Amino acid sequence: MTQQPPDEFERRLRDVLHSRGLSVPVPPDAIDRIHAGARRRQQRRNGASALGAVAVIAIAAVAIGVRPHGHGSNVAGSLHTATPAPIASSAAPSSPVAVQTSAPTVASSAPSSQVPSPTTPPAAAATTPYPSAGSAVPADFTPISVTAVNDKTYWALGTQQCGNVSCTAIVNTTDGGAHFTEVAAPHAATISINDTTRPVFNLRFADSSNGWAYGDALWTTADGGATWVDTSLPAGSVKDLEAARNPGAVAGTAWAIVQPVPFTSGYQLWEAPYATGSGTGAWQRVDLGADPPGDTAPSLVVKGPTAYLLGADAKKAERVYVASVGVATTMFAAPCIPTAGAFSAGIGSLWTACPSGATVSTDGGATWHATSTPSQITVGVVGGIDATTAVVNQGSNLVVVSTTGKSKTASISSKSANFSFVGFTDAKVGYALSQAPNQLWRTTDGGMSWSAVTF
Amino acid sequence: MVDEERRQVFDEFARARMPELLRFGHALTGSPHAAADLVQDALERTMLAWARVENQGDPEGYVRRIMVNRNISIWRRHRRETLVLDVPEDAGRRGAGHAEPVHRDLALWDRIRALPPRQRTVIVLRYYEDMSEAQIAALMGSSVGTVKSQASRALASLRRDAYQFAESDGPTEGVGR
């Protein structure tokens, strides 16, 4: 179709389509009608209608805190940072959900003492029933965010039907997805319901105990998701959050990209210490120097004590901001401004997607090199594996690209996946999220084959 | 971001992009009325997911993906739809002096509208939106190979019909006068 110059018929086809006068007048009340229609949809979702639930088209521009392990020397040598510690699957509490003693199914399921009342309680908390921890995962669980701490242990944030209501749910596995258990979820919606709703739509776990659910609110758990606290800090919308620590350390740092309210001076980077057993400490804003990120949300990845932001400053200059705990921020010229979700950490490498294809840095963002990405691939998401290999999307396919050889199309059963995220926890195990329909995929062979995760 | 602020951003986005989305919807559906419904449906869904959509950074791409996929699924439910029987909105406008081209154009336009939705979508995206195969594949959530085969089938069908119409132009010449 594109390989040959258009013939006479194709030119005619183009002319016919362009001559049709396809403009359609915009109804004067179009915006009001959209608002009204959206309200009706929301009411149906909330169970006000007996028509049943409508499909929730839920997406999340997510990037799990990629914690490559097993190749620590590579990372430390080339990125001047240490690799975060792998969390052995056995480190996960055998039954983190056992702490949850809530009664099943309803809003009161979480004892009030476990969830301190925030200054402005999320509206959904009073009206939305939440699934109980420890219960079986329902067949309609729909993932919108995934976070993994090793090759076997991961969590998914999503939605499920609670009667006629779509409610927030979190599931956890410690055996690579063979079995899932429902853990408690923050009492927050995953969609805006009204002016006081502060939804969450992303989930990160740093280890088997410390986790964060974020969006317009920031909820924190220190017990593997048994209980959640609305910390409401930092003030504003949390656009991205990642956490990592040095190998063997009991403490690490969580980093957050924050869109402050009111949004007057660009995006901010915040950091907070966390430690196994003591939860998350106080959040503090990080000074990103004279040219901090402007009005486009930067992408964030972390390695050990260092955070890497890929974004543009107020003058639209592309930059890689490198912020390390206790060390002055440095900046490098970025290869391009990637799309959301197209910044990823691999073993000893940072990856991003540029118009020319997947691009890698092995020196902490100082210099970047293109891969042999096939020209027909328009890279939207990228998941770095190591310094030479990454997985990118190509329509409903995933493709393994390399700096050293030809690309290989992965085996995946999807016929219609739109991938919003790809990431790896080590050289073999990785995760991908697709939307419309929302689905979680997993690979155990370095991205060559992917299987849909069944909850 | 508070909801009111977010709603204003959504409204500005919808207001600015609606003419183009309606035009795209018209090309996809072949009908201005169906286009209006499709755009409204897609924007309602987008509004409900606006926090995430905005966060992801390509709201128009999100809306277009919904439109493409919804149009295909709606068509599946209304498989009996007889698009070819619709009278094109501007039929006859070009009138005298363009009888043969108008007839040929109308016939080809009707053939495009009668294509199965996936094939029609590929043709519209390729020849109206001037998108590459990779871009079409990404938008439709399918592989480049699938896009190629859909396009190939659609073009073969349209060429065959065009040939038949060219042969039968004589008796029906004059439509549009």
Q: Which residues of B touch A144 (CB under 8 A)?
A: 52
Nearest to B141 among A35, A340, A396 (CB): A396
**pLDDT tier, A164 (very low <50, low <70, confident <90, very high otherwise):** low
Distances (CA, A) of A68 to A6, A253, A344, A373, A443: 48, 16, 11, 23, 15
Interface of A with B in 343-402 (CB under 8 A): 376-378, 380, 393-397
The per-residue pLDDT for range A392-427, each reduced to its tens digit, is 887 678 889 988 878 888 888 766 667 888 999 999
Count Cα atoms within 13 angstroms, Cβ side, for A409. 13
Interface of B with A in 127-146 (CB under 8 A): 127-128, 132-135, 137-138, 140-144, 146
Q: Is A263 or A56 the better-scoring residue by pLDDT?
A: A263
pLDDT of residue A67: 33
Residue A129 and residue B45: Cα distance in Å, rounded? Answer: 23
CB B48 within 8 A of CB A191: yes
- Which of B44, B64, B165 to mutate to test binding with chain A, by most A CBs within 10 Å of its CB? B44
- Whether residue A78 has pLDDT greater than 50: no
Provide ipTM, 2 decimals. Answer: 0.74
For residue A2, which of B108, B122, B142 has the smallest C-alpha distance? Answer: B122
CB A155 within 8 A of CB A145: no
How many degrees, rounded to 5, is the angle at CA A143 between CA A175 and CA A153? 20
With 0-12 CB in 10 A as exposed, 13-18 as middle and 19+ as buried, what is A67?
buried
How many CB pairs below 8 A link A and B? Answer: 199
According to DSSP, the β-strands at A284-286 and A268-275 are antiparallel
How many degrees, rounded to 5, is the angle at CA A85 between CA A81 and CA A90? 170
Backbone angles phi, psi at A146, to 5 degrees: -135, 145
Domain residue limits, chain B: 1-81, 89-177
CB A367 within 8 A of CB A361: yes
Cross-chain residue pair B155–A9, CB shorter than 8 Å: yes
pTM: 0.57
CB B30 within 8 A of CB A17: no
pLDDT of residue A342: 81
CA pseudo-torsion sign A452, B56, A344, A301: negative
Other Cβ atoms less than 10 A from the Cβ of A285: the count is 13
How many degrees, rounded to 5, is the angle at CA A391 between CA A176 and CA A190? 60
Count Cα atoms within 13 angstroms, Cβ side, for B15. 10
> A369: distance to nearest CA of chain B, Å?
23
The per-residue pLDDT for range A23-59, each reduced to its tens digit, is 788 888 888 889 888 887 777 666 533 333 222 222 2
Cross-chain residue pair A34–B14, CB shorter than 8 Å: yes
Topology adopted by domain B89-177:
Arc Repressor Mutant, subunit A (1.10.10)
CB A400 within 8 A of CB A391: yes
Backbone angles phi, psi at A27, to 5 degrees: -60, 140
Would an 8 Å CB–CB cutoff place B102 in contact with chain A?
A: no
Q: Assign residue B37 a region: left if phi > 0, alpha if psi is -120 to 50, beta otherwise? A: alpha
pLDDT of residue A431: 95
